[in-house]
Structure 1
Amino acid sequence: MEILELMEPLKCDICGQEDMALLFYIRDTCVQLFRSNHAVRRCFIEVERHLIHNIMEKTQFEAGNITNYSLQMLSLAVVNVSEAALSSAGDSDSIQLEAPQLLPENKSFVPQTWLPVNALRDIKNEERVVGLVSYMEHSQFQFGQKEISSMVLRIELLGERRLNDLNPPITMIFRVSEHTDMDNDSQLLCHYFDEDDWGWKTDGCETVNRNDGGQEHIICHCTHTTPFAVLLVRGPIANIHWKILSYISYIGCGLSAFFTALSLVIYVFRRNQKMDYSIFIHVCLSGALFLLNATFLLTEWGARVKPDWVCVFVAVFMHYSLLCCFTWMAIEALHLYLLLIKVFNTYYKHYLLKLSLAGWGIPGVIVGVSLGVKDFKQFYGVSEMTMADTNQTNAICWITDDSFFYSLNLMYFALIFIFNSGILMAVASSICKMKQVSNRNLKLGPETEGRSWGDSERFSASCRQGLTLMGLTCLMGTSWGLAFLGSGYVNYPILYLFCILNSTQGLFIFLWICLSVNKQRKRDLEDRMSSTPVRTSGVNSTSRPP
């Protein structure tokens, strides 16, 4: 990637303040790419840390002095801690070091910092140099779903030395604005940024909350030196629930993948020229579900393998399969509308071909456009999820941008759900009218017996078609609607319903197809035994799904 090739040369030994300005210029030029691409952010953080240490090593001053650097989006205070300063601490086990101020209006948000005296005494006088970095903008540290709610503070020691297992620990007091949108499951916690695993973690950090005049004072006690911040954790899934939901999802999706594949086999070996169009549409919906379930089973594997394009491919294919499922839901409704309401006994040329182009093509266009803007913003890749009572993170291949995920998928699903709901109401209205006509003809007597029989047959077929669509809509639409209903907070009943219903969709579609094929076989047998001509139409008006 060209952006990486621009940043890598800045890791040279002679690079300094001017190169730091160039690094921030590169980031500001490609803001969206930095926010969405993990590899670019990792490279940025590595180069930035290297430049900070270069500046620290080049700083010349006497013991006890402080040199401040204003480096555009961050401020660096290089402190040479003298023996006299440590001695002046007296009985205290910590010494306070001032983090640099960025802007006068941000002064109240710069954390107060205390480092343990005993750890500093173990360092030679000439090497006892500490760098404190305050960040004005911290988008490069935005990994995962957690929200950074304070200023990010980085603590570095000369020579890239690390302090670990500190006793007493480093103490920091962060000031954050009070959150008005916090719920009972949300909390402000001290985190450190792990530059090996590239994520925010809490082990080795203790959090103490204190409210003072509308501001949250978060006291952090941490046992090592890294970047620190206070993050708003919005009630992620607990580890035990995550394991149960994972088992349900994987077992259910495995069964669904098997049964949807079986549906395709049944259709291939049982199809004939008189096969209902409805069965073809059910099979296509089943095929979309098969692709979705199969790619879902590969999401965790894809996040662990190299090269990175494997994970991108899995994420893209799963998103495509999801949109295909939504699209074939709409086609189910459209077919019923054409069959029962709009164009009874009307022929459509290449009807199934047109439906197939829409069902498989529209999602392809959407995903293709999303994938085509990767140079501007990468929407697909590794997505991290964290459990509530553990630091364990779970990486999967999926959409990395939450706003893109909810705006596109929610809008697409909402349009289809509204469309299907409209079809359901139209079909219900049509069924009620046919029932009224049927009852009226029965009251008129023998002269309307033949017409009443035809109306009754059409009424019965309409009821079956309406129930089929209603079942598919409830099965597919309602279950996917649970995902959006439960977004933004953890609701375990909704999560369990979502996993159970969606992971078993393939099984229900398989049963539908089996019943449809069985009914088709019985109708073919009746047609061969009867001399009555079969009525046909372009949209197959004799379709009788269960």
Structure 2
Amino acid sequence: MELRLTDNLKIVFFLIILFSTGSSEHDVDWNFCGRWRHGSGSLQLSINLSTGCKNLSLSANESTLSVSGRITAQCMRSDVITLDKYVPDPKNDTYFCVYWEPLLDQLKLEVGETNLTLCWPANTRESCCTDLSYGANTLKSDYGIFDGAVKTDPLHTPLQTAYNFNTRHTQCAELCALAVQGSNIKNMPKKSETNAEHPCAYKSEVELKDDATRYNVVSPISRGVSSEAATMVHIPPAVKKHPNKSSKVSVTFYQNNSLFQDGYKEVKVIDEVVEITVENEVIVNLSEPIRINFHHDIVLKGHSRRCVSWDTRKDPFLVNWSVVGCETKQIGSKHTECLCNHLTYFAVLVELEPRPVRHLLALTAITSLGCAVSFISCIALIIYLCRKKKRPKEQSMPIHLGLAVSLAFLCLLFFLTGVLANVGEDSVCTWVGPLLHYALLSSFMWMGVEVFHTFWLVQVVFRPSPKTYMWNLVGFVVPAVPVVILVSIGDIYGVREVKPFDDPSNPYRMCWMATNHKALLAHCFTTMTVLAILVSSGFVMLFLVYRKIRHRDEWKQNRVAFFSIWGLSCLFGTTWGLAFLNSEPIADIILFLFCILNSFQGFFLMLRFYMLDWMRKQADGSNLVSTSSGSTKQQMLPTKEKS
């Protein structure tokens, strides 16, 4: 009896905790995350949503994850979706999250690493469905949901088949007020002071006169003590198209910018969204632009920002930001001015990651051309080196040959990666990505071998260098080890999208590492670590070689000095060090130099060897280059040391 009473008290206490954890007054947004334990067969999502404000139920069994209830204002949906392509490993438990945004009337599901919109954003009404509280649970089962959490609060429940949540109505205007609480927005006007239809908007109207008057419209929401920190719109006389017709300009300030945030994970709207319209008119190609001054939170260096407008021509119900027709002026880290030649919605987007690339089309063309030329040059260089390899004194030939082979493989794959990613399916990149990563690491390793071999010949003059098979082991076998490990881990390689600055909605696809957290760590611990070691050792070796040979009479000739340093820079991979200098305001210049120098690296190497051979013939038996190979030892050492 006492045991049963104790168990009942535990259950009551447990339910009190659940109710207090799972509910909060006037939730601006809400989410539930958990792990779905399912079978290893085919998986599917069942959706059954209707209008009203009563409940939301999340349930799961061996094969189906279900989202049902009456929670939306306008969305009604009954559907079954196959989840096999969204679940990377059906043998393991799947992590998922459900997001509800009452102001948008939007319901989203994140399963694996994919976001599915179950109910699309819609215009809100006066009443919003929010304040979800934990309801009655269900019995434990072999399959279901566990490790559930509402926002960041764990529910501490065992594996069960369903989680049920109760809802209630709340005024949308109250949610809008709560959305800005806790921020640095001050001097909020009362809703009665504006005439906007949307509960999260504040509207001002200006009657344009026939004179050349310029009008300034200030947002009623200021971000500071004075109104100078508020968003300001400057309306030029050019907006009035018909002199004899009255024109009324409406300027609406949306304080809750999450209304326009959906679908953009890599960017963020950092201030108010401003809508500017003229009644019954479409205003485009203004002779004098509209100027909008946004005062926002500090934007850190490395995160670009740009002025955008909402292109309503594609779909007026979906957010489609475009930079066309707007010019961006960055005035400090907290102030951005937008100059736009048309009227619509305007905002400032800040890039989170990855940052869009300016001049992507030109950079892609340069890289493709460079890789094609380098591949052909490396093939010619391989033939050239194979002929010279027959000479017994050429200790550096196998190393130069290994570098040429790895660079040829790298250039070929990099030239084809864009074609394979766009023409083939995503599964193609699961094997092209590892091959490209291996080719890059192999090229870095051979450049490192060049550095070490040069150091060996310059410093250890009277001892033979290691055998050729040792260099092949380091250059071709060692790079395969981390690639094989990463492939066995899984979810590392795939399609990488590089977004152009002028059109982020049309990214360039290539096979490389994916954009998840595991791939980022793999990139840092393999590629970037090897590159940092290579570049630092390359610069050190260039300095040591310069000190060793700077007093040679023949090195004092300008062309000899140029080809020595330039050629060794190619061999030692120092040009790849530009990757660490990609920062504003010289980011564009560095990026162009990086693409040109590294994509044409195979061509530069071929040119180096041919030029050294040509200079040898011109020297006519001088000590500049005593053999036709341009071997490292004979180029680096003074005459007395070679003898």
- TM-score normalised by L of structure 1: 0.58
Map 1:148-159; keep pairs closer than 5 Å: 148=268
1:258-317 Cα distance to aligned partner (Å, 9 max, x none): 111222233345532626131221121111211221111122222224432212322322
Alignment correspondent of 2:369: 251
Cross-structure match for 2:439: 321
Secondary structure of 1:386's partner?
A: coil
Instruction: Looking at secondary structure, tell me which structure has more strand per residue.
Output: 2
Asked if the contact 1:134–1:152 (Cα under 8 Å) also holds between the matched residues in 2, the reply is: yes
Higher helix share: 1
Match of 1:492 among 582, 588, 595: 588
Partners of 1:41 and 1:431 lie apart in 2 by 62
Alpha-carbon distance, 1:391 to partner:
4.6
- The sequence identity of aligned pairs, in percent, is 20
Does the Cα contact within 8 Å between 2:497 and 2:510 map onto a contact in 1? Answer: yes
- 2:118 maps to 50
Of residues 306, 309, 312, the one that matches 2:430 is 312
Q: SS of the counterpart of 1:277?
A: coil
Q: Which residue number corresponds to residue 367 of structure 1?
A: 483
Show the counterpart of 1:511.
607
Once the two structures are TM-superposed, the CA of residue 357 in structure 1 deviates from its matched residue by 1.0
Match of residue 457, structure 2, among 326, 329, 339:
339
Q: Is 1:70 aligned to residue 132 of structure 2? A: yes
User: The residue matched to 2:598 in structure 1 has which SS?
Assistant: helix
Within 1, Cα distance between the matches of 2:323 and 2:617? 68
The code of the aligned residue for 2:45 comes to L
Task: Report the AA paired with residue 27 of structure 1.
Answer: F
Change (3 A) 1:73 1:101: farther
Question: Which residue type is aligned with residue 113 of structure 1?
Answer: C
Using the alignment, how far apart are the partners of 1:489 and 1:363 within structure 2? 35
Matched, 1:9 2:44: yes
Q: What is the Cα deviation at residue 355 of structure 1? A: 1.0
2: CA distance between counterparts of 1:77 and 1:200?
A: 28
Structure 1 residues 104 and 541: alpha-carbon distance in aligned structure 2, compared to 1, 3 A threshold = closer
- For 1:393-433, what per-residue CA distance to the aligned partner results, in whole angstroms no more than 9, with x for missing partners? 22222333495445643332221122223333333444469
- Distance in structure 1 (CA, Å) of the matches to 2:174 and 2:311: 19
* Code of the aligned partner of 1:499: C
What one-letter code is carried by the residue in structure 1 that aligns with 2:541? I
Alignment correspondent of 1:181? 300
Q: SS at the partner of 2:450?
A: helix
8 Å contact from structure 1 (residues 256, 507) kept in 2: yes
Whether the 8 Å CA contact 2:567–2:608 is kept in 1: the answer is no
Deviations 1:51-80 (A, max 9, x none): 789xx9xxxxxx965432538349999989
Q: Which amino acid aligns with 1:494?
A: I
Show the counterpart of 2:501: 387
Q: What is the count of residue pairs matched by the alignment?
A: 427
Shift of 1:374: 2.4
Higher alpha-carbon deviation: 253-262 or 16-25 = 16-25
Unpaired runs of 5+ residues, structure 1, are 30-38, 57-62, 82-94, 117-132, 154-165, 170-174, 440-455, 527-533, 535-539
**1:50 maps to amino acid:** L
Q: Which structure 2 residues correspond to residues 416-495 of structure 1 after superposition, within 5 A?
A: 416-431=534-549, 468=564, 471-473=567-569, 477-487=573-583, 491-495=587-591
Q: Where in structure 2 are there 5+ consecutive unaligned residues? A: 1-34, 68-93, 99-108, 134-149, 153-164, 189-197, 204-255, 274-278, 283-293, 638-643
The residue type paired with residue 607 of structure 2 is: L
**Worse-matched range after superposition: 415-424 or 467-476:** 467-476
Matches within 5 A, 1:220-231: 231=349
Name the counterpart of 1:90: none
Q: Give the SS at the match of 1:297.
A: helix
* Displacement after TM superposition at 1:383 (Å): 2.2
Does the 8 Å contact 1:341/1:430 carry over to 2? no
Contact 2:496 2:509 in 1 (8 A): yes
Distance 1:285 1:42, change over 3 A: same
The 1:237–1:419 alpha-carbon spacing in structure 2 relative to 1, beyond 3 Å, is: closer
Equivalents in 2 of 1:101, 1:381: separation in Å?
40
Q: Under a length normalisation based on structure 2, what TM-score does the superposition of the two structures give? A: 0.50
User: Could you say which residue in structure 2 is the equivalent of 1:358?
Assistant: 474
Shift of 1:243: 2.8
Q: Contact 1:256/1:503 (CA < 8 Å) preserved in 2?
A: yes
* CA distance in 2 between partners of 1:508 and 1:297 (Å): 17
Secondary structure of 2:200's aligned partner: strand
Quote how far apart the aligned CAs of 1:367 are: 2.7
Describe the SS at the equivalent of 1:18.
Answer: strand
How far apart, CA to CA, are the structure 1 residues paired with 2:257 and 2:44? Answer: 25
Shift in Å, 1:232: 0.3
The change in CA–CA distance for 1:229 and 1:319 in structure 2 (over 3 A counts) is: farther
Distance 1:105 1:498, change over 3 A: same
SS at match of 2:300: coil
Tell me the secondary structure at the aligned position of residue 325 of structure 1: helix
The match for 1:396 is: 510
State how far apart, in whole Å, the 1-side matches of 2:95 and 2:280 are: 40
Tell me the residue number matched to 1:27. 96
Flag the 1:381–1:178 CA change in 2: closer, same or farther, 3 A: same
Who is 1:89 aligned against?
Answer: none
- Per the alignment, residue 160 of structure 1 pairs with none
Partner SS state of residue 115, structure 2:
helix
Counterpart check, 1:281 vs 2:281: no
Q: 1:18 to 1:103 in 2, by over 3 A?
A: farther
- Compared CA separation, residues 207 and 248, structure 1 to 2 (3 A): closer
- Residue type of the alignment partner of 2:95: I
Distance of aligned partners of 1:217 and 1:327 in 2 relative to their CA distance in 1, 3 Å threshold: closer
Residues 323 and 502, structure 2, Cα contact 8 Å, conserved in 1: no
SS in 2 for 1:11: strand
Q: How far apart are residue 478 of structure 1 and its match?
A: 3.8
Provide Cα deviations, 1:127-152, integer angstroms capped at 9, x if missing partner: xxxxxx9989x9x9665xx4435599
Query: CA 1:327–1:114 in structure 2 vs 1: closer, same or farther (change >3 Å)?
Result: same
Q: 1:333-369, CA deviations, whole angstroms, 9 ceiling, x for partnerless residues? A: 2111222312524364xx1111111112332223333
Give the SS at the match of 1:388. coil
- Structure 2: how far apart are the matches of 1:113 and 1:205? 27
Contact 1:68 1:77 in 2 (8 A): yes
Contact 2:378 2:606 in 1 (8 A): yes
Query: What secondary structure does 1:50 align onto?
Result: strand
Checking the alignment, whether the CA contact within 8 Å between 1:381 and 1:399 is kept in structure 2 is: yes
| Aligned-pair Cα RMSD in Å | 6.1
Return closer, same or farther for 1:308/1:180 CA change in 2, 3 Å cut-off: closer
Letter in 2 for 1:496: F
Of structures 1 and 2, the one with the larger relative CO (CA 8 A, separation 6+) is: 1
Is 1:18 aligned to 2:105, yes or no? Answer: no
Q: Return closer, same or farther for 1:204/1:8 CA change in 2, 3 Å cut-off.
A: farther
1:189 deviates by: 4.7
How far apart, CA to CA, are the structure 1 residues paired with 2:37 and 2:409?
34
The alpha-carbon deviation at position 474 of structure 1 amounts to 5.3
C-alpha spacing 1:484/1:426, structure 2 compared with 1 (3 Å): closer
The answer to whether the Cα contact below 8 Å between 2:374 and 2:411 also exists between their aligned partners in 1 is yes
- SS state at 1:13 partner: strand
For 1:92-107, list aligned pairs within 5 A.
105=182
The alpha carbon displacement at 1:475 in A equals 6.7
